Structure 1
Amino acid sequence: MNYLVVGSGLFGAVFAHELAEHGNNVKIIEKRDHIAGNIYTKVVDGIQVHQYGAHIFHTSNKEVWDYVHQFANFNRFTNSPIANYKGKMYNLPFNMNTFSEMWGVKTPQEAMAKINEQRQEMAGKKPQNLEEQAISLIGRDIYEKLIKGYTEKQWGRKATELPAFIIKRLPVRLVYDNNYFNDDYQGIPIGGYTKMIENMLDHPNIEIELNTDFFDKKDEYLKSYEKVVYTGMIDKFFDYKLGELEYRSLKFETEEKDVNNYQGNAVINYTDAETPYTRVIEHKHFEFGKSDYKDKTIVTREYPADWKRGDEPYYPINNYRNNQLYKEYKKLAEKENDKVIFGGRLGQYKYYNMDQVIAAARKSVQIVLRKNNEKN
């Protein structure tokens, strides 16, 4: 069959690779001037720069971990971000290092006693918003210094205006361990994510066309291809006929500095409300042996932003109103099921980690291939 895949990000690339491996002809169209979507990396002065924010691959799904190793070898990068609150540095995630820095406690028993003491503020009350939910889980000190400002910048709303369900749990580790993820496997592709996607799409059955917007010839594409895999915004596909879903966008400010080492860590979060950006990324620290590479380093400041049409949508805002509206769009999508497959975080209006994107794409393509075999 002839397939059109709209978007060359991780979902589209995995889908295209699997289709091609099963003998199908696939054309990928990409509106940007490069492949790999938001995991695109670019070499600048010998440093792999994450152009659309930091991406650390992590998973406990061994099948997915083995799958990506077809296309790249991974380094053993461990995500250990730091929080900067008004010049005071705290380790993340919340662990004994954090509690020792915050309160001067030394033992797990002392840390837990302090947390329980502060959680009493919400004793007997049902959290009505994100602020109350966070305090009920971790207490006011951690909330005020490490959650409140960062979250309000990220969402563009006061924590008291955000629903409690956004924070279902907050991991508390009563050990001195700064490894952010609990997953069995984590790392970053050696040579960058772009190289990984290039290897995924290096197939005689795959054709790639860059700088091409699906919506410039939407009707023609839908007529010309037997199946379309669409990874863009689901509401835009339907011309926003039921209303606009909400997204958060990001702005990036990247600069090269004439120093070996600017901040000493790959990611530092700025958790106070006054600092306009949420985090600073120093790209060379994602790769071993690059910390003292030349007298150059590249840093990126990440600014959350309100989204409007024409901006790049990064995160779905999965509150009640948007989730209900998405359900209505999903019903429209199901009517298109014989022709169009909707996938990825924009096509399915859902925040995905990279391993979840891969698993979802592989599951979706298996369903499509099985239906095709049944027809034949």
Structure 2
Amino acid sequence: MAQYDYLVVGAGLFGAIFAHEANKRGKKVLVIDKRDHLAGNIYTKEVEGINVHVYGAHIFHTSNEEVWNYVNQFAKFNRYTNSPIAYYKGQVYNMPFNMNTFSKLWPEVRTPAEAKAKIEAERAKVAVENPKNLEEQALSLGGKEIYEIFVKGYTQKQWGRPCTELPAFIIKRLPFRFTYDNNYFNDDYQGIPIGGYTQIVEKMLDGIEVRLNTDFLENREEYENIADKIVYTGMIDQYYDYKLGTLEYRSLRFETEVLDEENFQGNAVVNYEEYEIPYTRIIEHKHFEFGTQPKTVITREYPATWHKGDEPYYAMNDDKNNALYAQYKKLADDEGKVIFGGRLGLYKYFDMDDTVAAALHCVKKELD
């Protein structure tokens, strides 16, 4: 007889929510994670009194009231508003594209009507009727200047391919706003948990057995038989030993340093648009919680080609990879014992609110 009702593989947000809800319903749950800490990629740790987002900036935002109320059980959120800055060849611009951006880009533009007319004129010069790649799509949406400054270099760094080799659907639209509003998100709710994200997962997993530094795949035989059911949040292709082929991902590399100054860049997130600058952004962590510490901590974020064994961050959801994932999903759908979840198990790009919603949906389907 199995020792547990559920084995949850991965102590990130999806796994923690499922484990928490199963435990609440009287199920016996074991959570394992190959890392030495809880909370997966939302893990934060304190450095110089600052909560550092170890795996890149995580800003919680959602229009789903159920999701917002759910996470607020576990932490108090501040009023942080994401307003990134874009740096290009010595100039800084507000993101997302709004009247502040347009008036900086084109000093003669002052009103929304002038901005709309200017963008239409720029688009008309280069518009392609049926864009076949990301470059043609971006040019058709915003014209050459916006493409060259804000899209081309950053996107090529992020995906490791020229924009002419990337599918057009990656940029379905460019979010133009004709107001002087630097709030990046349109969502109803937005903020950062005061005290960092790790505490949220710690509270979710309170009273549940957790084993860190434990790799399911290295101890597969033992863990496959330890529970009646498995919730697996790792890579779905790796679970099946890549037998249908290897899905593609993008990876990231982080360089974090403590600086002996109070304020390095004046903003939590500064994007570096030029291809020649190898990192895509610099994060200054203290600004997420309006910190006034005497020192500061910054992280440079470098996109990287993913190879087996590297940490996968983004699914490469092009037609080829989605077709391969569909084959793996067929295998998964036939599994009686294993539930796949999270961005790696479902091979999708998830924001945190998407992860919470997907986990709660899984809970309802499986436990209710």
Relative to the length of structure 1, the TM-score reads: 0.95
Q: 1:66 deviation in Å? A: 0.5
> Residues 188-218 of structure 1, C-alpha deviation per residue, up to 9 Å, x if partnerless?
101100011111111x3x1100000000111
| 2:321 is the alignment partner of 1:322 | yes
Listed as ranges, the gaps of 5+ residues in structure 2 are none
Looking at structure 1, the residues matched to 8 and 226 of structure 2 have their Cα atoms a distance apart, in angstroms, of: 13
Aligned to 1:106: 110
> What is the identity percentage for the equivalent residue pairs of Structure 1 and Structure 2?
66
Do the aligned residues in 2 keep the contact of 1:121 with 1:135 (CA within 8 Å)? no
Distance 2:149 2:45 in 1: 34
Query: Within 5 Å, which residues of 2 pair with 1:18-29?
Result: 18-29=21-32
Aligned residue pair count: 364
Aligned to 1:308: 307
Q: Deviations along 1:86-106, whole A, 9 cap, x unmatched?
A: 111000000000001101111
d(CA) in 1 for partners of 2:88 and 2:10?
38
In the alignment, the residues of structure 2 paired with residue 44 and residue 243 of structure 1 have an alpha-carbon distance, to the nearest angstrom, of 41
Counterpart for residue 7 of structure 2: 4
8 A Cα contact 2:37 2:212, kept in partner: yes
Matching of residue 356 in structure 1 with residue 354 in structure 2: yes
Deviation at 1:123, TM superposition (A): 4.0
* C-alpha separation in 2, matches of 1:173 and 1:5: 43
Aligned equivalents of 1:314, 1:175: Cα separation in 2: 33
Q: 1: distance between equivalents of 2:55 and 2:43?
A: 7
Deviations 1:22-72 (A, max 9, x none): 110110001000000000000001000000000000000011100111101
Q: Which amino acid aligns with 2:325?
A: Y
Question: How many angstroms apart in 1 are the aligned matches of 2:152 and 2:217?
Answer: 39
Q: Equivalences for 1:137-176 in 2 at 5 Å?
A: 137-176=141-180
Question: What corresponds to 2:210 in structure 1?
Answer: 208
Alpha-carbon shift at residue 335 of structure 1 (Å): 1.1
Q: 2:337 aligns with which of 324, 336, 339?
A: 339
Amino acid at match of 1:64: V
Q: Which residue in the other structure is 2:183 paired with?
A: 179
Q: How does 1:260-339 map to 2 (within 5 A)?
A: 260-288=262-290, 290=291, 292-294=292-294, 296-336=295-335, 338-339=336-337
| Residue type at the aligned position of 1:300 | T
Q: Are the counterparts in 1 of residues 127 and 141 from structure 2 also a CA contact under 8 Å?
A: no
1:124: Cα distance to partner?
Answer: 5.8
Tell me by how many angstroms 1:224 deviates.
Answer: 2.0
State the 1:163 CA deviation.
Answer: 0.4
Structure 2 counterpart of 1:244: 246
Task: Provide the C-alpha distance between the structure 1 equivalents of 2:37 and 2:91, rounded to a whole number of angstroms.
Answer: 39
Counterpart residue type for residue 174 of structure 1: F
Output the aligned Cα RMSD: 0.9
- Is 2:137 the partner of 1:133? yes
Distance 2:196 2:314 in 1: 23
CA distance in 2, matches of 1:123, 1:260: 46
Question: How far apart, CA to CA, are the structure 1 residues paired with 2:168 and 2:78?
Answer: 37
C-alpha distance in 1, partners of 2:79/2:143? Answer: 34
- Equivalents in 2 of 1:121, 1:318: separation in Å? 31
1:310 is displaced (CA, Å) by 0.7
Q: Deviations along 1:74-96, whole A, 9 cap, x unmatched?
A: 00000000000011100000000
Q: How many angstroms does 1:219 deviate by?
A: 2.3
